[in-house]
Structure 1
Amino acid sequence: MILPLGVQLADAQTVLVQTSKATYHYGDYLSVTISVSKTSGNNAIMHIIDSEGIKSSAIPVQIKNANTTITTPVPFNVELFREGKYQIQVEYDGVKSSAPFQLVDAGNIVMPFGSNVIMPQWLDGAVSDHMFFKFLVEKNAIKLPEGSKLGEKIEIPYWYKTNGKWWTEQKITDSEFVKGLQYLVNQKIIF
Protein backbone atom coordinates (compact mmCIF):
# COMPACT_ATOMS: atom_id res chain seq x y z
CA MET A 1 0.00 0.00 0.00
CA ILE A 2 1.41 3.39 -0.98
CA LEU A 3 0.37 6.32 1.17
CA PRO A 4 0.57 10.01 0.29
CA LEU A 5 3.62 11.77 1.71
CA GLY A 6 3.16 12.64 5.41
CA VAL A 7 0.29 10.19 5.98
CA GLN A 8 0.81 7.30 8.41
CA LEU A 9 -1.17 4.20 9.17
CA ALA A 10 -3.21 4.60 12.34
CA ASP A 11 -1.27 1.87 14.15
CA ALA A 12 2.21 3.05 13.09
CA GLN A 13 4.58 3.82 15.96
CA THR A 14 5.69 7.43 16.39
CA VAL A 15 8.53 8.57 18.60
CA LEU A 16 9.34 12.12 19.70
CA VAL A 17 12.43 13.14 21.69
CA GLN A 18 12.78 16.44 23.52
CA THR A 19 15.40 17.87 25.87
CA SER A 20 14.32 20.10 28.74
CA LYS A 21 16.52 22.93 27.39
CA ALA A 22 18.10 23.86 24.09
CA THR A 23 21.30 24.99 25.83
CA TYR A 24 22.94 23.32 28.82
CA HIS A 25 25.89 24.50 30.91
CA TYR A 26 28.49 22.60 32.90
CA GLY A 27 26.81 21.59 36.13
CA ASP A 28 23.37 21.10 34.51
CA TYR A 29 21.67 17.73 34.46
CA LEU A 30 20.50 16.53 31.05
CA SER A 31 16.77 15.79 31.03
CA VAL A 32 15.20 13.96 28.07
CA THR A 33 11.54 13.15 27.42
CA ILE A 34 10.66 10.32 25.05
CA SER A 35 7.07 10.30 23.81
CA VAL A 36 5.67 7.27 21.97
CA SER A 37 2.30 6.70 20.35
CA LYS A 38 2.04 3.20 21.84
CA THR A 39 4.02 1.20 24.35
CA SER A 40 5.24 -2.26 23.46
CA GLY A 41 7.17 -3.33 26.55
CA ASN A 42 10.50 -2.89 24.75
CA ASN A 43 13.27 -0.58 25.86
CA ALA A 44 14.21 2.47 23.85
CA ILE A 45 17.90 2.77 23.00
CA MET A 46 19.36 6.23 23.45
CA HIS A 47 22.71 7.64 22.30
CA ILE A 48 24.34 11.02 22.85
CA ILE A 49 26.19 12.10 19.70
CA ASP A 50 28.74 14.92 19.69
CA SER A 51 29.45 17.41 16.91
CA GLU A 52 32.07 15.06 15.41
CA GLY A 53 29.56 12.23 15.16
CA ILE A 54 31.03 10.26 18.06
CA LYS A 55 28.26 8.20 19.62
CA SER A 56 27.99 7.24 23.29
CA SER A 57 27.45 3.67 24.36
CA ALA A 58 23.84 2.51 24.07
CA ILE A 59 21.72 3.69 26.98
CA PRO A 60 18.62 1.49 27.48
CA VAL A 61 15.53 3.42 28.60
CA GLN A 62 12.53 1.53 29.95
CA ILE A 63 9.33 2.76 28.29
CA LYS A 64 6.23 2.05 30.39
CA ASN A 65 4.12 5.08 29.53
CA ALA A 66 3.42 7.27 26.52
CA ASN A 67 5.79 9.89 28.02
CA THR A 68 9.00 8.91 29.78
CA THR A 69 11.36 11.50 31.24
CA ILE A 70 14.86 10.59 32.36
CA THR A 71 17.47 12.79 33.99
CA THR A 72 21.15 11.94 34.07
CA PRO A 73 22.50 10.94 37.50
CA VAL A 74 25.50 13.29 37.12
CA PRO A 75 25.69 16.78 35.62
CA PHE A 76 27.64 17.81 32.55
CA ASN A 77 31.31 17.99 33.44
CA VAL A 78 34.21 19.46 31.48
CA GLU A 79 36.22 16.27 32.10
CA LEU A 80 33.71 14.23 30.06
CA PHE A 81 31.99 16.61 27.65
CA ARG A 82 33.43 19.28 25.37
CA GLU A 83 31.53 22.43 24.56
CA GLY A 84 29.55 22.16 21.34
CA LYS A 85 26.48 20.85 19.61
CA TYR A 86 25.04 17.44 20.47
CA GLN A 87 22.17 15.19 19.39
CA ILE A 88 20.08 12.84 21.49
CA GLN A 89 19.16 9.91 19.26
CA VAL A 90 16.49 7.42 20.33
CA GLU A 91 15.29 4.26 18.65
CA TYR A 92 12.12 2.54 19.82
CA ASP A 93 10.42 -0.34 18.00
CA GLY A 94 12.47 0.40 14.87
CA VAL A 95 11.54 4.10 14.78
CA LYS A 96 14.30 6.69 15.24
CA SER A 97 13.98 10.23 16.50
CA SER A 98 16.49 12.84 17.61
CA ALA A 99 16.74 16.20 19.33
CA PRO A 100 19.60 18.71 19.31
CA PHE A 101 21.07 20.59 22.25
CA GLN A 102 24.13 22.69 22.88
CA LEU A 103 26.64 22.61 25.75
CA VAL A 104 28.20 25.95 26.68
CA ASP A 105 30.72 26.83 29.39
CA ALA A 106 29.10 29.65 31.36
CA GLY A 107 31.85 29.66 34.00
CA ASN A 108 29.75 27.78 36.56
CA ILE A 109 31.45 26.18 39.54
CA VAL A 110 31.10 22.45 39.00
CA MET A 111 32.00 19.62 41.35
CA PRO A 112 34.65 17.37 39.77
CA PHE A 113 33.81 14.12 38.03
CA GLY A 114 33.67 11.38 40.66
CA SER A 115 32.17 13.63 43.35
CA ASN A 116 28.97 11.60 43.26
CA VAL A 117 31.06 8.60 44.41
CA ILE A 118 33.44 10.20 46.92
CA MET A 119 30.86 12.48 48.60
CA PRO A 120 28.71 9.62 50.02
CA GLN A 121 31.90 7.86 51.17
CA TRP A 122 32.99 11.02 52.98
CA LEU A 123 29.54 11.41 54.54
CA ASP A 124 29.67 7.79 55.80
CA GLY A 125 33.19 8.20 57.19
CA ALA A 126 34.78 5.74 54.74
CA VAL A 127 36.85 8.64 53.30
CA SER A 128 38.63 11.00 55.69
CA ASP A 129 38.28 14.77 55.67
CA HIS A 130 41.87 14.94 54.41
CA MET A 131 41.26 12.59 51.44
CA PHE A 132 38.01 14.33 50.50
CA PHE A 133 39.61 17.77 50.71
CA LYS A 134 42.68 16.57 48.78
CA PHE A 135 40.37 15.28 46.00
CA LEU A 136 38.72 18.71 45.70
CA VAL A 137 42.07 20.55 45.73
CA GLU A 138 43.65 18.25 43.13
CA LYS A 139 40.62 18.71 40.86
CA ASN A 140 40.89 22.53 41.29
CA ALA A 141 37.46 22.87 42.90
CA ILE A 142 39.00 24.35 46.06
CA LYS A 143 41.89 26.82 46.08
CA LEU A 144 44.46 26.79 48.89
CA PRO A 145 45.69 30.06 50.41
CA GLU A 146 48.60 31.63 48.50
CA GLY A 147 51.87 29.77 49.17
CA SER A 148 50.16 26.99 51.18
CA LYS A 149 50.57 23.26 50.78
CA LEU A 150 48.05 20.60 51.66
CA GLY A 151 48.85 19.24 55.10
CA GLU A 152 47.96 15.86 56.56
CA LYS A 153 45.70 17.25 59.30
CA ILE A 154 42.69 18.66 57.50
CA GLU A 155 39.51 18.77 59.55
CA ILE A 156 36.26 19.88 57.97
CA PRO A 157 33.70 20.88 60.62
CA TYR A 158 31.32 17.98 61.17
CA TRP A 159 28.28 20.19 60.64
CA TYR A 160 29.43 20.90 57.06
CA LYS A 161 28.51 17.31 56.20
CA THR A 162 24.90 18.54 56.20
CA ASN A 163 25.79 20.58 53.10
CA GLY A 164 27.30 17.43 51.57
CA LYS A 165 24.08 15.54 52.24
CA TRP A 166 22.05 18.35 50.68
CA TRP A 167 24.35 18.28 47.66
CA THR A 168 23.78 14.52 47.18
CA GLU A 169 20.03 15.17 47.37
CA GLN A 170 20.38 18.03 44.84
CA LYS A 171 18.98 20.49 47.40
CA ILE A 172 22.00 22.77 46.92
CA THR A 173 24.07 23.40 43.80
CA ASP A 174 27.70 22.56 43.14
CA SER A 175 28.45 26.26 43.45
CA GLU A 176 26.78 26.55 46.87
CA PHE A 177 28.68 23.54 48.22
CA VAL A 178 32.08 24.65 46.86
CA LYS A 179 31.66 28.32 47.82
CA GLY A 180 30.74 27.31 51.37
CA LEU A 181 33.79 25.09 51.69
CA GLN A 182 36.03 27.73 50.10
CA TYR A 183 34.69 30.27 52.61
CA LEU A 184 35.78 27.97 55.46
CA VAL A 185 39.24 27.79 53.88
CA ASN A 186 39.45 31.55 53.37
CA GLN A 187 38.40 32.16 57.00
CA LYS A 188 41.08 29.68 58.17
CA ILE A 189 38.46 27.45 59.75
CA ILE A 190 39.68 24.47 57.73
CA PHE A 191 43.19 25.35 56.67
Structure 2
Amino acid sequence: FVSIAQEQDFFLKTASAEQVPVVVKTYYDEVENFAFDTSDNSISFDMPFDWSPDYVDLVQVVHEEIRVPKSFAPYGEGKQFKGYVNGIEIDQRAILNDPYSSEETNIVHFLISKNELVKINETLGSNNFDNPQMDFKLVPLDQTERSSTEFYLVDTQNYEKTITTVNISWDGQYGANQNVPFTFTFFNENENLIKDVRYTYVAFDEFDNEISRYNGDDSVNPGIVSTEGIDIQNIYIPSEGPIRFDILVYGTGLDYDSTYSGIGSTIIELGPGTQSKTPNESAILEISSIPSWIKNNAGWWADGTIDDKSFIQGIQFLIKENILQIPSTAQGTGSDDEIPSWIKNNAGWWADGTIDDTAFVQGIQFLIKEGILRVQ
Protein backbone atom coordinates (compact mmCIF):
# COMPACT_ATOMS: atom_id res chain seq x y z
CA PHE A 1 0.00 0.00 0.00
CA VAL A 2 1.41 3.39 -1.04
CA SER A 3 0.70 6.10 1.53
CA ILE A 4 2.57 8.80 -0.41
CA ALA A 5 1.73 9.50 -4.04
CA GLN A 6 4.28 8.23 -6.51
CA GLU A 7 4.69 8.80 -10.24
CA GLN A 8 5.35 6.05 -12.77
CA ASP A 9 6.55 6.78 -16.30
CA PHE A 10 5.27 4.95 -19.36
CA PHE A 11 5.13 5.37 -23.13
CA LEU A 12 2.21 4.68 -25.42
CA LYS A 13 2.82 3.77 -29.04
CA THR A 14 0.43 5.27 -31.59
CA ALA A 15 -0.73 3.68 -34.85
CA SER A 16 1.98 5.71 -36.62
CA ALA A 17 4.63 4.29 -34.25
CA GLU A 18 5.00 7.60 -32.40
CA GLN A 19 5.93 7.23 -28.74
CA VAL A 20 4.04 9.51 -26.36
CA PRO A 21 5.15 9.86 -22.72
CA VAL A 22 2.47 9.18 -20.10
CA VAL A 23 2.74 9.59 -16.34
CA VAL A 24 0.49 7.69 -13.96
CA LYS A 25 0.45 9.21 -10.49
CA THR A 26 -0.88 6.67 -8.03
CA TYR A 27 -2.14 7.48 -4.57
CA TYR A 28 -2.79 3.85 -3.74
CA ASP A 29 -0.43 1.16 -5.02
CA GLU A 30 1.99 0.61 -7.87
CA VAL A 31 0.33 0.14 -11.25
CA GLU A 32 1.23 -2.58 -13.72
CA ASN A 33 0.43 -3.81 -17.24
CA PHE A 34 0.15 -0.35 -18.78
CA ALA A 35 -1.31 -0.61 -22.30
CA PHE A 36 -2.61 1.58 -25.12
CA ASP A 37 -5.27 0.39 -27.57
CA THR A 38 -5.07 2.15 -30.94
CA SER A 39 -8.60 1.04 -31.88
CA ASP A 40 -10.23 3.40 -29.36
CA ASN A 41 -7.18 5.31 -28.04
CA SER A 42 -7.82 3.91 -24.58
CA ILE A 43 -5.26 3.67 -21.80
CA SER A 44 -5.46 0.74 -19.39
CA PHE A 45 -3.50 -0.55 -16.41
CA ASP A 46 -4.10 -2.44 -13.19
CA MET A 47 -2.94 -2.47 -9.59
CA PRO A 48 -3.29 -4.79 -6.59
CA PHE A 49 -6.54 -4.35 -4.68
CA ASP A 50 -8.55 -6.24 -2.07
CA TRP A 51 -12.20 -6.41 -3.21
CA SER A 52 -13.51 -8.17 -0.11
CA PRO A 53 -16.54 -6.24 1.24
CA ASP A 54 -14.93 -5.79 4.67
CA TYR A 55 -11.91 -4.09 3.12
CA VAL A 56 -13.93 -2.02 0.63
CA ASP A 57 -15.91 -0.67 3.57
CA LEU A 58 -12.67 0.82 4.94
CA VAL A 59 -11.73 2.61 1.70
CA GLN A 60 -12.73 6.25 1.33
CA VAL A 61 -11.47 6.84 -2.21
CA VAL A 62 -9.13 5.32 -4.79
CA HIS A 63 -7.28 8.10 -6.61
CA GLU A 64 -5.21 7.70 -9.78
CA GLU A 65 -3.99 10.40 -12.20
CA ILE A 66 -3.15 9.94 -15.88
CA ARG A 67 -1.05 12.72 -17.39
CA VAL A 68 -0.86 12.91 -21.18
CA PRO A 69 0.61 15.69 -23.37
CA LYS A 70 -2.06 17.98 -24.81
CA SER A 71 -0.23 17.74 -28.12
CA PHE A 72 -1.48 14.15 -28.42
CA ALA A 73 -4.85 14.86 -30.06
CA PRO A 74 -6.99 12.08 -28.51
CA TYR A 75 -6.12 13.48 -25.07
CA GLY A 76 -5.99 17.14 -26.06
CA GLU A 77 -7.52 20.07 -24.22
CA GLY A 78 -11.31 20.04 -24.16
CA LYS A 79 -11.63 16.27 -24.41
CA GLN A 80 -14.09 14.32 -22.29
CA PHE A 81 -13.63 10.74 -21.12
CA LYS A 82 -15.34 7.57 -19.96
CA GLY A 83 -13.81 5.42 -17.27
CA TYR A 84 -14.13 1.72 -16.51
CA VAL A 85 -13.11 -0.30 -13.46
CA ASN A 86 -13.03 -4.08 -13.82
CA GLY A 87 -15.02 -3.66 -17.02
CA ILE A 88 -17.82 -1.66 -15.37
CA GLU A 89 -18.42 1.90 -16.54
CA ILE A 90 -18.12 4.18 -13.53
CA ASP A 91 -20.14 7.25 -12.70
CA GLN A 92 -19.22 10.27 -14.79
CA ARG A 93 -18.51 12.19 -11.59
CA ALA A 94 -15.64 9.78 -10.83
CA ILE A 95 -13.68 10.99 -13.90
CA LEU A 96 -12.34 14.54 -13.63
CA ASN A 97 -10.45 16.18 -16.47
CA ASP A 98 -8.04 18.95 -15.44
CA PRO A 99 -6.69 20.98 -18.39
CA TYR A 100 -5.82 23.93 -16.13
CA SER A 101 -2.97 22.85 -13.84
CA SER A 102 -0.44 22.37 -16.64
CA GLU A 103 0.03 24.25 -19.90
CA GLU A 104 1.39 21.19 -21.69
CA THR A 105 -0.30 18.26 -19.99
CA ASN A 106 -3.89 17.09 -19.61
CA ILE A 107 -4.50 15.50 -16.21
CA VAL A 108 -7.35 13.01 -15.88
CA HIS A 109 -8.31 11.84 -12.39
CA PHE A 110 -9.96 8.59 -11.38
CA LEU A 111 -11.66 9.43 -8.05
CA ILE A 112 -13.51 6.25 -7.12
CA SER A 113 -15.51 6.55 -3.92
CA LYS A 114 -16.49 3.79 -1.52
CA ASN A 115 -20.06 3.89 -2.88
CA GLU A 116 -18.75 3.37 -6.41
CA LEU A 117 -16.62 0.41 -5.26
CA VAL A 118 -19.64 -1.13 -3.54
CA LYS A 119 -21.72 -0.77 -6.72
CA ILE A 120 -19.00 -2.49 -8.74
CA ASN A 121 -18.99 -5.37 -6.27
CA GLU A 122 -22.79 -5.55 -6.39
CA THR A 123 -22.75 -5.62 -10.19
CA LEU A 124 -20.03 -8.25 -10.55
CA GLY A 125 -21.19 -10.37 -7.64
CA SER A 126 -19.30 -12.44 -5.10
CA ASN A 127 -16.80 -13.72 -7.67
CA ASN A 128 -15.24 -10.26 -7.63
CA PHE A 129 -14.56 -10.45 -3.88
CA ASP A 130 -11.54 -12.70 -4.54
CA ASN A 131 -10.23 -10.63 -7.44
CA PRO A 132 -6.70 -9.55 -6.43
CA GLN A 133 -6.53 -6.48 -8.65
CA MET A 134 -8.33 -3.38 -9.90
CA ASP A 135 -8.37 -2.86 -13.67
CA PHE A 136 -8.60 0.70 -15.02
CA LYS A 137 -9.54 1.79 -18.52
CA LEU A 138 -9.77 5.39 -19.77
CA VAL A 139 -11.49 6.04 -23.11
CA PRO A 140 -11.50 9.48 -24.81
CA LEU A 141 -14.80 10.55 -26.36
CA ASP A 142 -15.42 12.45 -29.57
CA GLN A 143 -14.80 16.18 -29.38
CA THR A 144 -17.94 18.13 -28.50
CA GLU A 145 -18.71 21.81 -28.24
CA ARG A 146 -18.90 23.00 -24.66
CA SER A 147 -20.66 26.03 -23.26
CA SER A 148 -19.49 27.78 -20.11
CA THR A 149 -19.96 30.76 -17.86
CA GLU A 150 -17.58 32.26 -15.30
CA PHE A 151 -18.26 34.56 -12.36
CA TYR A 152 -16.67 35.71 -9.12
CA LEU A 153 -17.94 35.23 -5.59
CA VAL A 154 -18.63 37.94 -3.02
CA ASP A 155 -18.33 37.71 0.75
CA THR A 156 -21.50 37.17 2.76
CA GLN A 157 -21.14 40.26 4.98
CA ASN A 158 -20.19 43.24 2.83
CA TYR A 159 -20.85 41.63 -0.57
CA GLU A 160 -17.41 42.64 -1.76
CA LYS A 161 -15.59 40.71 -4.48
CA THR A 162 -13.52 37.77 -3.24
CA ILE A 163 -10.52 36.06 -4.85
CA THR A 164 -12.61 33.04 -5.88
CA THR A 165 -13.87 32.52 -9.43
CA VAL A 166 -16.31 29.79 -10.42
CA ASN A 167 -16.66 28.30 -13.89
CA ILE A 168 -19.71 26.24 -14.84
CA SER A 169 -19.49 24.33 -18.13
CA TRP A 170 -21.59 21.73 -19.92
CA ASP A 171 -21.62 19.71 -23.11
CA GLY A 172 -23.66 21.43 -25.82
CA GLN A 173 -25.31 18.19 -26.89
CA TYR A 174 -27.29 18.11 -23.63
CA GLY A 175 -30.40 20.20 -23.08
CA ALA A 176 -33.91 20.34 -21.68
CA ASN A 177 -35.60 17.20 -20.36
CA GLN A 178 -32.24 15.54 -19.78
CA ASN A 179 -29.77 14.91 -16.99
CA VAL A 180 -27.05 17.41 -17.79
CA PRO A 181 -23.54 16.79 -16.40
CA PHE A 182 -22.46 20.25 -15.26
CA THR A 183 -18.79 20.76 -14.40
CA PHE A 184 -18.09 23.16 -11.51
CA THR A 185 -14.51 24.47 -11.40
CA PHE A 186 -13.01 26.75 -8.75
CA PHE A 187 -10.06 29.11 -9.33
CA ASN A 188 -8.06 31.42 -7.08
CA GLU A 189 -6.73 34.88 -7.92
CA ASN A 190 -3.82 33.32 -9.87
CA GLU A 191 -6.18 31.19 -11.97
CA ASN A 192 -4.97 28.06 -10.22
CA LEU A 193 -7.39 25.37 -9.08
CA ILE A 194 -8.56 25.61 -5.47
CA LYS A 195 -8.26 22.18 -3.85
CA ASP A 196 -10.57 20.61 -1.25
CA VAL A 197 -13.43 23.04 -1.87
CA ARG A 198 -16.66 22.55 0.09
CA TYR A 199 -19.61 24.06 -1.73
CA THR A 200 -23.33 23.80 -2.42
CA TYR A 201 -25.51 24.77 -5.36
CA VAL A 202 -29.17 25.57 -6.00
CA ALA A 203 -30.65 25.76 -9.53
CA PHE A 204 -33.80 27.73 -10.44
CA ASP A 205 -35.84 28.09 -13.62
CA GLU A 206 -36.85 31.46 -15.10
CA PHE A 207 -39.88 31.61 -12.77
CA ASP A 208 -37.71 31.12 -9.66
CA ASN A 209 -38.96 27.57 -9.18
CA GLU A 210 -36.26 25.44 -7.57
CA ILE A 211 -35.03 22.73 -9.95
CA SER A 212 -32.27 21.12 -7.94
CA ARG A 213 -30.33 21.55 -4.72
CA TYR A 214 -27.42 19.57 -3.32
CA ASN A 215 -25.37 20.12 -0.17
CA GLY A 216 -23.38 16.89 -0.03
CA ASP A 217 -24.10 13.69 1.87
CA ASP A 218 -22.57 14.57 5.24
CA SER A 219 -25.07 16.16 7.63
CA VAL A 220 -22.31 16.97 10.13
CA ASN A 221 -19.87 18.53 7.64
CA PRO A 222 -22.02 20.26 5.01
CA GLY A 223 -20.99 20.83 1.43
CA ILE A 224 -20.04 18.91 -1.69
CA VAL A 225 -16.33 18.10 -1.49
CA SER A 226 -14.39 18.96 -4.64
CA THR A 227 -10.99 17.44 -3.91
CA GLU A 228 -9.24 18.68 -7.05
CA GLY A 229 -11.22 21.89 -7.50
CA ILE A 230 -13.27 20.31 -10.29
CA ASP A 231 -16.60 18.59 -9.68
CA ILE A 232 -19.33 17.12 -11.91
CA GLN A 233 -23.00 17.09 -10.91
CA ASN A 234 -25.74 15.48 -13.00
CA ILE A 235 -28.75 17.79 -12.83
CA TYR A 236 -32.11 17.10 -14.46
CA ILE A 237 -33.27 20.19 -16.37
CA PRO A 238 -37.02 19.96 -17.14
CA SER A 239 -37.40 22.75 -19.71
CA GLU A 240 -35.59 25.12 -22.05
CA GLY A 241 -34.77 28.69 -21.12
CA PRO A 242 -32.78 30.60 -18.52
CA ILE A 243 -31.40 28.66 -15.54
CA ARG A 244 -30.00 30.45 -12.50
CA PHE A 245 -27.30 28.83 -10.39
CA ASP A 246 -26.64 30.06 -6.86
CA ILE A 247 -23.29 28.90 -5.49
CA LEU A 248 -22.11 29.00 -1.88
CA VAL A 249 -18.51 28.07 -1.05
CA TYR A 250 -18.24 27.28 2.66
CA GLY A 251 -14.45 27.12 2.60
CA THR A 252 -11.71 24.57 2.05
CA GLY A 253 -10.51 21.54 3.96
CA LEU A 254 -11.85 19.87 7.06
CA ASP A 255 -11.51 23.10 9.04
CA TYR A 256 -13.51 25.10 6.45
CA ASP A 257 -10.75 27.66 5.87
CA SER A 258 -12.66 30.78 4.80
CA THR A 259 -9.99 32.19 2.46
CA TYR A 260 -12.00 31.24 -0.61
CA SER A 261 -15.52 31.31 0.85
CA GLY A 262 -18.30 33.39 -0.68
CA ILE A 263 -21.54 33.38 -2.62
CA GLY A 264 -22.37 34.07 -6.25
CA SER A 265 -24.95 33.62 -8.99
CA THR A 266 -25.00 33.20 -12.73
CA ILE A 267 -27.66 32.67 -15.40
CA ILE A 268 -27.20 30.29 -18.31
CA GLU A 269 -29.42 29.55 -21.30
CA LEU A 270 -30.20 25.91 -22.02
CA GLY A 271 -31.71 24.79 -25.31
CA PRO A 272 -33.28 21.53 -26.46
CA GLY A 273 -29.99 19.65 -26.76
CA THR A 274 -28.93 17.35 -29.58
CA GLN A 275 -28.20 14.10 -27.74
CA SER A 276 -30.81 11.39 -28.15
CA LYS A 277 -32.35 10.47 -24.83
CA THR A 278 -31.29 7.21 -23.27
CA PRO A 279 -33.90 4.83 -21.82
CA ASN A 280 -32.97 5.95 -18.32
CA GLU A 281 -33.51 9.59 -19.20
CA SER A 282 -36.99 8.83 -20.53
CA ALA A 283 -37.90 7.21 -17.23
CA ILE A 284 -38.35 10.39 -15.22
CA LEU A 285 -40.97 10.01 -12.52
CA GLU A 286 -43.90 12.39 -12.39
CA ILE A 287 -43.48 13.32 -8.75
CA SER A 288 -46.70 15.27 -8.52
CA SER A 289 -48.73 12.17 -9.44
CA ILE A 290 -47.01 9.76 -7.03
CA PRO A 291 -48.81 9.26 -3.73
CA SER A 292 -46.81 10.83 -0.90
CA TRP A 293 -46.85 7.56 1.03
CA ILE A 294 -44.49 6.01 -1.56
CA LYS A 295 -41.73 8.49 -0.79
CA ASN A 296 -42.52 8.12 2.89
CA ASN A 297 -42.16 4.35 2.47
CA ALA A 298 -38.80 4.81 0.76
CA GLY A 299 -37.52 6.91 3.65
CA TRP A 300 -38.92 4.57 6.30
CA TRP A 301 -37.47 1.56 4.50
CA ALA A 302 -34.05 3.22 4.30
CA ASP A 303 -33.99 3.89 8.06
CA GLY A 304 -35.34 0.43 8.95
CA THR A 305 -38.84 1.46 10.06
CA ILE A 306 -40.52 -0.84 7.52
CA ASP A 307 -39.28 -4.11 6.04
CA ASP A 308 -38.27 -5.03 2.50
CA LYS A 309 -41.63 -6.62 1.72
CA SER A 310 -43.61 -3.44 2.44
CA PHE A 311 -41.31 -1.38 0.26
CA ILE A 312 -41.47 -3.85 -2.64
CA GLN A 313 -45.27 -3.90 -2.43
CA GLY A 314 -45.34 -0.11 -2.75
CA ILE A 315 -43.16 -0.18 -5.86
CA GLN A 316 -45.21 -2.99 -7.39
CA PHE A 317 -48.34 -0.87 -6.85
CA LEU A 318 -46.74 2.08 -8.69
CA ILE A 319 -45.75 -0.05 -11.66
CA LYS A 320 -49.08 -1.90 -11.83
CA GLU A 321 -51.04 1.36 -11.81
CA ASN A 322 -48.71 2.90 -14.45
CA ILE A 323 -47.78 5.70 -12.06
CA LEU A 324 -44.12 4.68 -12.31
CA GLN A 325 -42.96 4.03 -15.88
CA ILE A 326 -39.96 1.70 -15.96
CA PRO A 327 -37.96 1.26 -19.19
CA SER A 328 -38.18 -2.21 -20.71
CA THR A 329 -36.14 -4.46 -18.43
CA ALA A 330 -35.63 -8.21 -18.70
CA GLN A 331 -37.32 -9.98 -15.78
CA GLY A 332 -34.82 -12.01 -13.79
CA THR A 333 -35.49 -15.37 -12.21
CA GLY A 334 -32.97 -15.23 -9.39
CA SER A 335 -33.79 -16.90 -6.11
CA ASP A 336 -31.83 -14.48 -3.92
CA ASP A 337 -34.27 -11.97 -2.42
CA GLU A 338 -31.63 -9.93 -0.62
CA ILE A 339 -31.71 -6.28 -1.68
CA PRO A 340 -28.25 -4.67 -2.09
CA SER A 341 -27.47 -1.97 0.45
CA TRP A 342 -26.80 0.67 -2.21
CA ILE A 343 -30.43 0.46 -3.39
CA LYS A 344 -31.65 1.09 0.15
CA ASN A 345 -29.29 4.07 0.33
CA ASN A 346 -30.71 5.31 -2.99
CA ALA A 347 -34.25 5.06 -1.63
CA GLY A 348 -33.36 7.18 1.40
CA TRP A 349 -31.58 9.76 -0.73
CA TRP A 350 -34.52 9.86 -3.16
CA ALA A 351 -36.94 10.35 -0.27
CA ASP A 352 -35.04 13.39 1.02
CA GLY A 353 -34.37 14.82 -2.45
CA THR A 354 -30.61 14.19 -2.51
CA ILE A 355 -30.69 12.16 -5.74
CA ASP A 356 -32.89 12.53 -8.78
CA ASP A 357 -35.61 10.24 -10.09
CA THR A 358 -33.41 8.59 -12.72
CA ALA A 359 -30.98 7.24 -10.13
CA PHE A 360 -33.91 5.80 -8.18
CA VAL A 361 -35.33 4.15 -11.33
CA GLN A 362 -31.96 2.51 -12.02
CA GLY A 363 -32.18 0.81 -8.63
CA ILE A 364 -35.67 -0.49 -9.42
CA GLN A 365 -34.45 -1.80 -12.78
CA PHE A 366 -31.70 -3.68 -10.95
CA LEU A 367 -34.29 -5.33 -8.66
CA ILE A 368 -36.35 -6.41 -11.69
CA LYS A 369 -33.29 -7.71 -13.53
CA GLU A 370 -32.19 -9.75 -10.51
CA GLY A 371 -35.68 -11.20 -10.01
CA ILE A 372 -36.05 -9.60 -6.57
CA LEU A 373 -38.93 -7.41 -7.79
CA ARG A 374 -41.38 -9.29 -9.99
CA VAL A 375 -43.66 -7.29 -12.27
CA GLN A 376 -46.87 -9.02 -13.34
Flag whether TM exceeds 0.5 (same fold): no
TM-score (norm 2): 0.20
TM-score (norm 1): 0.36
Which protein has greater RCO, CA pairs closer than 8 Å, 6+ apart?
Answer: 1
